[in-house]
Structure 1
Amino acid sequence: MANKSAQKDDRDKQHAAPLAEWVVGAIGLVLVATAITVLTYEAMKGEASPPAVTVSVLGIGPQPGGYLVEVRATNEGGTTAGELTIEGSLSSGGREVEKSEATIDYVPSHSNRKAGLFFTHNPQDFELQVRPSGYREP
């Protein structure tokens, strides 16, 4: 009889979840609920501000047949800029000497992408200007 009672106690202990399992389960539940709440909030608030793109020069180097100007386009706006066109120009004394364009497929909000502009003249010998010139809503 005592043996049956001991076996029953062992089975009860095996089926009872330790306190640590409950604590870890509760922490997991809180983390999942928090993630769902944050994602729902971000989806609902829907930043609708237009793209705010700036272009900066990363470097200038020689290439076969000319020069490469590497640029970074940064979008601080609330929406994606699709087919972003970047324009670069070389000028001297107010006169445009050469122009180059590059298109970046997508620049999501709060991100950046790199591109390159090719020139036949050395950009270091002229005044170099780079700017975004247009985009399309994806």
Structure 2
Amino acid sequence: MEKNETKPNIPVLEWAFSTVGVIIVVGILAFNIVQALNDRETPPDIQLKAEEPIRTTQGYLLPIEAVNVGGESAAALMIAGQLRSAEGEVESSEVTFDYVAPHSSKKGGLFFEHDPKVYQLKLRVLGYQEP
């Protein structure tokens, strides 16, 4: 008995797409490994963004966002907001974010009695703990 075996005929386009897929997967893995190795050397780097204040029954809520562009996490991240006039500090407020992972953000808010739009706003990071 003679077997009539034929090899499957795989189209060239299928080989091309398979090769491109493997190259993309390997590239993504290599990029992630390099990022993970390099990022661990950078401490938390927090950028603060303020949004439009919202009038509340107790005064004003100033929504803020803390963006960690660094390579390490920040726990118990303390943020202070200060309203200033030409005469000096008018009012201050603080908030603590439990945890901000690397390359992520958290939103929260600062409460003020005075309208933050009327005064000069100063936001700053006071400190954090290593998780």
Shorter-chain TM-score: which interval? 0.7 to 0.9
Query: What residue in structure 2 maps to residue 28 of structure 1?
Result: 21
Query: What residue in structure 2 maps to residue 38 of structure 1?
Result: 31
Query: What residue in structure 1 maps to residue 56 of structure 2?
Result: 63
TM-score normalised to structure 1 length: 0.72
RMSD (Å), alpha carbons: 2.7
Structure 2 residue 72 is matched with structure 1 residue 79: yes
Per mean C-alpha deviation after superposition, the further-off stretch among 39-48 and 59-68 is: 39-48
Any idea what SS the aligned residue of 2:91 has? strand
Query: What residue in structure 2 maps to residue 12 of structure 1?
Result: 6
Query: Residues 89 and 129 of structure 1 are in contact (CA less than 8 Å); yes or no, is this contact kept in structure 2?
Result: yes
Larger Rg: 1
Gap regions ≥5 residues in structure 2: none
Any idea what SS the aligned residue of 1:55 has? strand
| Residue 116 (structure 1) shift | 0.8
- Structure number with the higher helix fraction is 1
| Residue 118 (structure 1) shift | 0.8
* Residue 120 (structure 1) aligned to one of 113, 116, 119: 113
TM-score normalised to structure 2 length: 0.75
The number of residue pairs the alignment matches comes to: 129
Superposed CA offset, 1:48-104 (max 9, x none): 12222232322112112211112222333332222211111234522x443211122
4+ residue runs of structure 1 moved beyond 4 angstroms? none
Any idea what SS the aligned residue of 1:27 has? helix
